Amino acid sequence: MIVGKTPVETRLAGSVVLLFTAGASLAAFFFLLNYDRTLEHVTANVMDKPTRDVMIYLMGGTGFAFTLAGAIYWMLRGFSEAAVATLQRTARILSPLMVLFPLPVLFDYHWTDRNEWAFVLAAGLFGLGFERTLRLSFDSIDWTGLRDWSARWVRRHPHLYARTPPILLALLVIFVAGYLAYYTILNHYRLKTASWDLAIFDNLMWNLIRGKWFAASPDLGRTGSHIQFHANFLFYLYAPIYALYQHAETLLVLQAVLVAATAIPIYLITRLKLGSSWIGVLFAYLYLIHAPMHGPVFYDFHDLTLAPFWICWVIYCYEAEKKGWLIFFWICALLVREDTSAVLAAGCMFELVSGKRVRWAIIGGVLSAIYFVVVKFFIMPLHRTWSEANSFTWIFVGLIPPGESGFAGVLRTIVSNPIFTFNSLLDQEKLTYIVKMMGPVLLLPFRHSRAWILFIPPAMFTLLSSGYKPMYQTFFQYTSNYTGYIFFAAAVTLAWWRDSDALLGLRRLRVPAALVAMALTATMYSYSHGAIFQHHNFVGGFRQVQFEITKDDERHHRDLYELIALIPPTASVAATETEAPHVSNRRFCFTLRFAYEDADYLLMTIDEARSEPTTHQVVQQALATGLYGLVQRKGNFLLWKRGFSKEKNEQGMKLIGL
């Protein structure tokens, strides 16, 4: 018998497969949920034969039970075509159960510790499979009753319906901002921040509000401008905030607040693209739990980490046609750092090929590109006091052809040898990096015909690195090149799907299916890699982050600050790596790992001064001058003063192995 174009036998067979697979998957889910060696079973296949037999029989039996129930229903309905249709619809509604079985291990953060690539790939495949089965399920459900009920509820409670999303957004932003601020300050209190880079930016801001042109002594010494490394002109906008409380903690709080507040323009963009404040709240949630956003926040302070805030406001003002605010936020975004101008130019290119306000896109793109070229290749080199080797081109050394140097050489390789360039991207760690960022949104940015344009500059800045792994690890600030565009591109893709279905007269529910799948998949990724849902293995920067403070931490902090109290605010200090951010709010603060610069005081932790080779050498050089005397030892810290009595020097030198 043929109904339409599909034989009844085909539809029946498809229903049987769906029902059996759904039942077997459901059984496997509950079995693995209660099995005490699930992770070992998945990663090393350690399950013994009796237990494995139980699992297989349980899966087969449950799958058979689902199938048998369908067969009984079909027989009781007299083997009718209507019964087949009902059976098919039921099987499709239950189809999301087919991908349920891996959830117990996907929500086990230990899997990431053992094999990160396997986890991110499995989680991504789960998300895509869940989305596809949800489409099948949602399209098979009669939503008439729910739609009627929701319409009546909205008519009865219009103010509640309209006001709840902004309230939820505000609560989410406030909570995450407070959470990030508290724990990043706690990390600083535990002496887990570093001279490179928190002390650099703290010292830069301290000098900036006193009229010093981007002086940053922790990396530059007594002379030079930080502009040679990065054009951070927007720091003048942050300066009044820093002036209120001139300590590194101010930068950490500022970073936490602006990073969390980026959820606001993401909410507005999504609401504009998809016409729903509730979907906007969901996107805000997806952003706020996004693990590649958390890592940079816990890695000291960086201007680039704040870039998504300004870029997302640019996107919103462009989409909403708020021309005055667009110009303001566009200028601010340009001034964040030189490379954000290239990221903005890609955004303008996307809008241009999309045919949306093309004059704005052309003007913005051309000006952004000009700004990048002028700043990167003219203004920054004019400030150079360090060699070309210290201008970060070494990160891309594998792409610099013979006889050439700098970023111009990298660009020439990209243009003249695209096959070699592409080959440099085919690296498992780089693929892991991309899936960790895009997997939580179901790879939606790559499922649109043009959205990939947005990611050309970020990919050039990160994936072309030929050996410096932080460029393509989500624990560092470089992921911020992608963050703003990831959620914008996801919203663009969903809006494209919706409009395409409407144009074809289809009432498919692939957008709601994707939203539900994203909510679960993003939560899964965040649970494994993020800073909010669990505190066992989260990494920010170069180290795992601890979310509690111990008695030892309190003692170390107290010992350090008792020594800091002996240092006059006007004195210059050379400090070890984790101590420098606590004394960098002064004219000169140097990093002992590189130079002591005849500082008035040397502040060091015994461990680094003894064990870190370059620090040990610099300390040895300083003490060999005979100009420094040991002021005091406090716990694991030593304080030396220029011109101080040397009666304790022998004791101090023994402690650091001299």
pLDDT 10s digits, 57-70? 999 999 999 999 98
CA separation for the pair 265, 312 (Å, rounded):
6
Contacts for 324 with CB less than 8 Å, ≥ 6 apart: none
Pick the more confident residue, 75 or 239. Answer: 239
CA separation for the pair 303, 319 (Å, rounded):
25
Identify whether 591 is part of a domain: yes
- Choosing from 98, 124, 152, the residue where a domain stops is 152
The amino acid occupying position 153 is W
Hey, what are 259's tokens? 């990073």
Say what the pLDDT of residue 383 is.
Answer: 85
Pick the more confident residue, 335 or 39. Answer: 335
In the predicted model, is pLDDT for residue 311 greater than 80? yes
CB 286 within 8 A of CB 262: no
Q: What is the pTM of this model?
A: 0.93
Question: Where does the pLDDT of residue 38 fall: very low under 50, low under 70, confident under 90, or very high at 90 and above?
Answer: confident
- Give 557-583 pLDDT, tens digit per residue: 999 999 999 999 999 999 999 999 999
Query: Could you tell me what percent of the chain has a pLDDT over 90?
Result: 71
Mean pLDDT, the chain, integer: 91
Question: Where does the pLDDT of residue 392 fall: very low under 50, low under 70, confident under 90, or very high at 90 and above?
Answer: low
Identify whether 407 is part of a domain: no
Q: In terms of Cα–Cα distance, which of 322, 539, 353, 550 is closest to 448?
A: 353
Say what the pLDDT of residue 77 is.
Answer: 84
Identify whether 645 is part of a domain: yes
First-to-final CA distance of the chain? 93
Could you list the residue range(s) of the whole structural domain that residue 66 is in? 2-152
In residues, how long is the chain?
A: 658
In the predicted model, is pLDDT for residue 397 greater than 80? no
The string of DSSP letters for 430-464 reads: HHHHHHHHHGGGTTGGGSSSSGGGGGHHHHHHHTT
Question: Where does the pLDDT of residue 389 fall: very low under 50, low under 70, confident under 90, or very high at 90 and above?
Answer: very low
Say what the pLDDT of residue 81 is.
Answer: 84
CA separation for the pair 177, 172 (Å, rounded):
8
Question: Where does the pLDDT of residue 39 fall: very low under 50, low under 70, confident under 90, or very high at 90 and above?
Answer: confident
CB 284 within 8 A of CB 169: yes
Give one word for 490, left, alpha or beta, with left for phi > 0 and alpha for psi -120 to 50.
alpha
CB 12 within 8 A of CB 84: yes
Identify whether 215 is part of a domain: no
- Give 85-102 pLDDT, tens digit per residue: 899 999 999 999 999 999
CA separation for the pair 497, 499 (Å, rounded):
6
Identify whether 260 is part of a domain: no
Say what the pLDDT of residue 84 is.
Answer: 86
Say what the pLDDT of residue 2 is.
Answer: 43
CA separation for the pair 432, 637 (Å, rounded):
40
Q: Each residue of 552-585: b (16+ CB within 10 Å) or e? A: ebeebbebbeebbeebeeebbbbbbbbbbbbbbb
What's the burial of 446, exposed, middle or buried (CB within 10 Å: 0-12/13-18/19+)? Answer: middle
Say what the pLDDT of residue 294 is.
Answer: 96
The amino acid occupying position 176 is V
Question: Where does the pLDDT of residue 265 fall: very low under 50, low under 70, confident under 90, or very high at 90 and above?
Answer: very high
Identify whether 69 is part of a domain: yes
The string of DSSP letters for 592-643 reads: TTT--TT-SEEEEEHHHHHH-HHHHHHHHHHHHTT-EEEEEEETTEEEEEET
What's the rounded mean pLDDT across residues 321-326? 94
Say what the pLDDT of residue 8 is.
Answer: 80
Question: Where does the pLDDT of residue 5 fall: very low under 50, low under 70, confident under 90, or very high at 90 and above?
Answer: low
What's the rounded mean pLDDT across residues 604-625? 94
Hey, what are 515's tokens? 């939203």
In the predicted model, is pLDDT for residue 213 greater than 80? yes
Question: Where does the pLDDT of residue 407 fall: very low under 50, low under 70, confident under 90, or very high at 90 and above?
Answer: low
Cα 295 to the chain's mean position, in Å? Answer: 6
Identify whether 358 is part of a domain: no
Q: In terms of Cα–Cα distance, which of 255, 101, 246 is closest to 177?
A: 255
CA separation for the pair 122, 108 (Å, rounded):
12
Number of domains making up the chain: 2
In the predicted model, is pLDDT for residue 388 greater than 60? no
Phi, psi (degrees; rounded to nearest 5) at 6? -110, 125
What sections of 3-157 are H helices per DSSP? 8-34, 38-44, 49-76, 81-94, 103-106, 110-114, 116-140, 144-156
- Give 115-173 pLDDT, tens digit per residue: 889 899 999 999 999 999 999 999 999 888 888 888 888 888 888 888 999 999 999 99
CB 235 within 8 A of CB 204: yes
The amino acid occupying position 135 is R
The string of DSSP letters for 105-123 reads: HHT-THHHHH-HHHHHHHH
Question: Where does the pLDDT of residue 654 fall: very low under 50, low under 70, confident under 90, or very high at 90 and above?
Answer: very high
CA separation for the pair 617, 596 (Å, rounded):
11
Pick the more confident residue, 508 or 435. Answer: 435
DSSP letter at 392 equals T
At CB < 8 A and 24+ separation, what contacts does 70-74 make? Answer: 70/15, 70/16, 70/19, 74/12
In the predicted model, is pLDDT for residue 308 greater than 80? yes
Instruction: Indicate the range of 292-301, 468-477, 478-487 predicted with least confidence.
Output: 468-477
Say what the pLDDT of residue 3 is.
Answer: 43
Say what the pLDDT of residue 135 is.
Answer: 94
Identify whether 413 is part of a domain: no
Say what the pLDDT of residue 1 is.
Answer: 38
What's the rounded mean pLDDT across residues 180-188? 97
What's the rounded mean pLDDT across residues 171-186? 97
- Choosing from 152, 183, 215, the residue where a domain stops is 152
- Choosing from 135, 152, 169, the residue where a domain stops is 152
